[in-house]
Amino acid sequence: MPIFNGEPVWLCHRLLLCAGTILASGLPCAAVAQSVPGDAKDIGTVTANGAAPTGGQLIHTPGTAPYMAPSVAPIDVGQPASIVGPHFIENNISPTQNYDEIIKYTPSVANVAPTGPGLQQNFWESIRGFNYKQFNTTFDGIVVPGSISNFAPQSAAYFTSHNIGSVQVDRGPGTASTLGYATFGGTVAMNSKPLLDSFTVNPYGTAGSFNTLLGGVQVSSGLLPELNGARGYIDMSTLKSDGYPTETTTQRNNFFGKLDVPVGDSILLSFVGMYNSSVNRTFSGAQLGQFAVFGPNYGLNNNPLSQAYKNYNVDTYTTDFEYIGVKSDLGDGWKLDNKTYTASYYRRGTDAKSPNGTLNPSDPAGNLNGFFYVNGVKTLLNNAVPGRDPQADFRDWGNILRLTKDTDIGQARVGMWTDYNAGINRRTNIIVSQNNVVYTNKANVSPYDYNYKTDLTTLQPYLEFAFKPLPELTITPGLKYTSTTRGLNATINATTKQPANFSKTYDALQPSIEVQYALTENWNTYAQVATGFLAPPLGVLQTTAPQALNPQQTVNYQIGTAYQTEALALGADLYYINFNNFISSKTVNGTILYSNSAGAIYSGAEAEGMARLGEGLSLYANGSINNAYYSGNRGQVVAVPNRIAAIGPIFERDGFYASWLTKYVGNQYGQDLPNA
């Protein structure tokens, strides 16, 4: 059945084999096999602070407004947040899409998918104007590692929507127990699907615009008595699409597996593994004149003499993500939750020097017929299209240890996150039209644009106490310490082109306090003051002499409320954020110099609501006012939409589901002038 949600119409049919019975269905993807929640020991669903995101009982009650909502404010958190639940994901999100598409209808989130939903990396995701480099992304409470240079993971290189059970968007740094590289701008917390109690074979498929085809199968073991009630599933899918811009094809294969094994009555072991590979013909943008001549969807072309030739602009990504979890009741109110994990990212491919750019034909860097140095020998090459061979690899290792102690007056929490990420980055000059032969423009110089190794070590211990002086009141003070050490060992540094060997440590204490007061069972209010942390990017080491910089920090002041009944779900909040130690840069005599400038003030109001109108019809809407100005009246911060809204009806009755949701993203500045 079509799913009407403002995107290209996706069609899906699936067969469900359950206990020997085959059922054919035209329901939307994943609508047939509803997840059966696991028992209390299931550790697959956690947020960045290690807690299970219940959101309120009504979120899990079919037919209620919180259950139906595309996004709902939970009534058990102390900061502005929204949960996108499994019912919405199953009925509205194509299996081709990624987590950035799942959250796009939540308040203050802006998102653009230029090649088609979920088909390639997205560089336009933001929350309250904080871009994708400035907030956390987690999966089952584990920080998904990104580029060592800027912390941001590739949204299209890890988990597909079919791996994800729910997503919680925290629009703030959280409490002390919220872990991550960039608590600075909030957290996007993905959660794996809960496990099923019955054996199920669930094939699925999707067809859509731009010759998009996806097929997959999920096999759930159900309860295994011979393994003390263990449960697990595997999910495999393959995707192929031409993409919206011309010749920007995508091929992707994804495998995900999860297994929970109880040991005795008080220990649960959890094993999760994800493996992903994709090959993309990458769109890097085009000029207005090219759009006018070739059409609005121009991306790459079929001309082997062009910088924008499709076979000269190819990226291959291979990633994995695994963890082993141990959850145990230690007795006397003590509980342990520990996860040891690893993840990797490997990029290979070819990039033309300037796809759809303006290289001067008389310049050897863009000359199709000219002299180049190959193995140090000056050589005339005809039809030579210069390009580059990029390599970006890293392997990440880490551990999250959490201990809690229940007492008569509240819960004590203490823990430690340790993480080590090491990788290499190099880019070699090649002639992409001449079998990728390595070249230079001068004799006896390196063919590398840059060649360096990096490492990143993060330590985050924390402690907090959720004090309950009254049954309706919870006060949670906490303190976290973050230490991030960057290392760079370069034979050719990226900007100076000189050798470099630098190491810098950035650290800070991050206090927080959060107050929740439950007016009724279904109505919660909260207030929070919390600090966020973001270490400087790798670029600060890619200079001749790195400056002494302070980490960027935010101090968030937030108040809000959330209300839920069977017919209505509401959430609203106000926020004021003091952004300190803004890192800016300028070039002096060819050298990039970084410094801490004054900062910025972010402020705004957010609200969302879902109303069940009757006869199967519901209406959802949200809206936000977002302001961000540099301190000292120096102008508005770039890429912060001043207004964001979403609205649309949802209809579900007698097995039929349809939705039509519209997203509005307001005006934003396109040029950053922090030093004006």
Instruction: Return the HEC string of 434-466.
Output: CCCEECECCCCCCCEEEEEEEEEEEEEEEEEEE
Beta carbons of 156 and 506 less than 8 angstroms apart? no
Which ranges of 210-334 does DSSP label H, i.e. alpha helix? 288-294
Strand order of the β-sheet with 130-131 is 109-110, 126-127, 130-131
pLDDT score for 287 = 81
Of 173, 1, 49, 11, give the one whose Cα is nearest residue 464: 49
Q: pLDDT category, 6, cuts 50, 70, 90? A: very low
Using DSSP bridges, classify how beta strands 136-139 and 187-192 pair: parallel, antiparallel or unpaired. Answer: parallel
Question: Considering the chain, what is the average pLDDT of its residues?
Answer: 85
Name the pLDDT band for 23 (thresholds 50, 70, 90).
very low
Element (H, E) at 268: strand 267-281
The number of beta carbons lying within 10 Å of the beta carbon of residue 136 is: 25
Task: State how far the Cα of 388 lies from the Cα of 422, in Å rounded to an integer.
Answer: 23
User: What pLDDT, on the 0 to 100 scale, is given for residue 50?
Assistant: 60
Decide: residue 589, CB within 10 A, 0-12 exposed, 13-18 middle, 19+ buried: exposed
Report which of 279, 181, 283, 187 is spatially closest to residue 239, judged by C-alpha positions. 279
* Segments of 313-433 assigned E as strands: 314-331, 334-352, 370-374, 377-381, 386-407, 410-431
- Write the CB contacts of 76 (distance below 8 Å, at least 6 apart in sequence): 54, 55, 56, 516, 524
Pick the range with the lowest mean pLDDT from 227-241, 550-564, 591-605.
591-605
Give me the count of residues in the chain.
Answer: 676
Tell me what pLDDT residue 34 has.
36
pLDDT confidence band for 122 (50 / 70 / 90) = low
Question: 346-378 burial, b if ≥16 CB within 10 A, otherwise e?
Answer: bbebbbbbebbeeeeeeeeebbeebebbbeeee
CA distance readout (Å), 599 to 89, 535, 579, 627, 670: 38, 15, 5, 14, 18
Q: Is the pLDDT of residue 256 over 90?
A: yes
Kindly indicate the confidence band of residue 158, based on its pLDDT and cuts at 50, 70 and 90.
confident
pLDDT digits (tens, 9 = 90+) for 433-486: 888 999 998 888 899 999 999 999 999 999 999 999 999 999 999 999 999 999
- Please give the C-alpha separations between residue 7 and each of 52, 83, 210, 297, 514, in angstroms, as whole numbers: 31, 21, 13, 16, 39
φ/ψ of residue 416, rounded to 5: -150, 130
The pLDDT confidence band at residue 367, using thresholds 50, 70 and 90, is: low
Residue 94 has a pLDDT of 83
Give dist(CA 335, CA 354) in Å, integer: 56
pLDDT average, residue stretch 245-267 = 93
CB distance 248 to 299 below 8 Å:
yes
Domains, the chain, in order of start with CATH, read: 14-665 (2.40.170.20)
Within 364-498, where are the H helices?
Answer: none
> Please, what is the end-to-end C-alpha distance for the chain in angstroms?
54
For 101, the enclosing helix (H) or strand (E) is helix 99-102
H-helix or E-strand spanning residue 66: helix 65-68
Which range is least confidently modeled, 77-91, 267-281, 350-364? Answer: 350-364
Stretch 605-634: mean pLDDT, rounded?
93
Tell me the average pLDDT across 23-42.
Answer: 35
- Would you state the pLDDT for residue 383? 85
Which residue carries 């590692």 as its tokens?
145
Q: In the structure, what pLDDT confidence band is assigned to residue 497 with cuts at 50, 70 and 90?
A: confident
Nearest C-alpha neighbor of 281 from the set 345, 351, 214: 351
> 625 vs 147, which has greater pLDDT?
625
Answer yes or no: is pLDDT of 613 > 90: yes
Nearest C-alpha neighbor of 147 from the set 473, 537, 516: 537
Tokens 């890293």 belong to residue: 394
Tell me the pLDDT tens digit for each residue of 406-429: 999 999 999 999 999 999 999 999
Looking at residue 360, its pLDDT comes to 43
Condensed to tens digits (0 to 9), the pLDDT of residues 291-300 reads: 888 888 888 9
Mean pLDDT of 320-324: 97
The better pLDDT of the pair 636, 106 is held by 106
Backbone angles phi, psi at 106, to 5 degrees: -80, 155
Helices (H), 200-341: 288-294
Non-local (6+) Cβ contacts of 326 within 8 A are: 267, 268, 269, 270, 336, 337, 338, 339
Average pLDDT over residues 499-515: 95
Confidence at 31, pLDDT banded by 50, 70, 90: very low
Of 24-28, 111-115, 284-288, 562-566, least confident by mean pLDDT is 24-28
**Residue 5 pLDDT more than 50?**
no
Task: Check residue 567 and give its pLDDT.
Answer: 96
Q: How sure is the predictor about 114, in pLDDT bands with cuts at 50, 70 and 90?
A: low
Span 579-598, pLDDT tens digits:
988 887 777 766 677 788 77
Least confident interval from 108-122, 128-142, 188-202, 287-301: 108-122
pLDDT band at 22 (very low <50, low <70, confident <90, very high): very low
How does residue 86 score in pLDDT terms, banded at 50, 70 and 90? very high
Scan for tokens 């020991």, then name that residue: 41
Which one, of 111, 187, 107, 127, lies nearest residue 606 by Cα? 107
Within 8 A by CB and 6+ apart from 457, the residues are: 419, 420, 421, 483, 484, 485, 487
**Dihedral sign (CA 592, 423, 552, 138):** positive
pLDDT of residue 226 exceeding 80: yes
pLDDT confidence band for 366 (50 / 70 / 90) = low
* pLDDT value, residue 541: 87
Determine if residue 222 is left, alpha or beta; phi over 0 gives left, psi from -120 to 50 gives alpha, anything else beta: left
Closest CA to 542 of 499, 603, 602, 579: 499
Residue 542: its pLDDT value, please? 85
Give percent above pLDDT 70 in the chain: 88
Return the pLDDT at 43: 40
Which of 8-17, 74-83, 86-95, 277-286 bottoms out in mean pLDDT, i.e. has the lowest? Answer: 8-17
Q: Do residues 582 and 597 lie in contact, with contact meaning Cβ atoms separated by under 8 Å?
A: yes
Q: Residue 353: pLDDT above 90?
A: no
Question: CA 375 to CA 82: how far, in whole Å?
Answer: 57
pLDDT of amino acid 35: 37
Per DSSP bridges, beta strands 187-192 and 164-170 are antiparallel
More confident: 589 or 306: 306
* 92, containing H or E segment: helix 86-92
Question: What integer is the mean pLDDT of 524-537?
Answer: 93
Tens of pLDDT, residues 40-63: 344 444 555 666 555 678 888 999
Question: What pTM, to 2 d.p., does this model score?
Answer: 0.88
Give yes or no for residue 30 having a pLDDT over 80: no
Nearby residues of 515 by Cβ (< 8 Å), 6 or more positions away? 78, 473, 474, 475, 476, 526, 527, 528
CA-atom Rg of the chain in angstroms: 26
Task: Indicate the residue type of 565.
Answer: T
Q: Which two tokens stand for residue 9?
A: 């119409």
Please give, one letter per residue, the 3-state secondary structure of 118-155. Answer: CCCCCCCCEECCEECCCCEEEECCEECCCCCCCCCCCC
DSSP one-letter string for 527-575 = EEEEEEEEPPPGGGGSSSS----PPEEEEEEEEEEEEE-SSEEEEEEEE
Pair 356, 294: CB distance under 8 Å: no
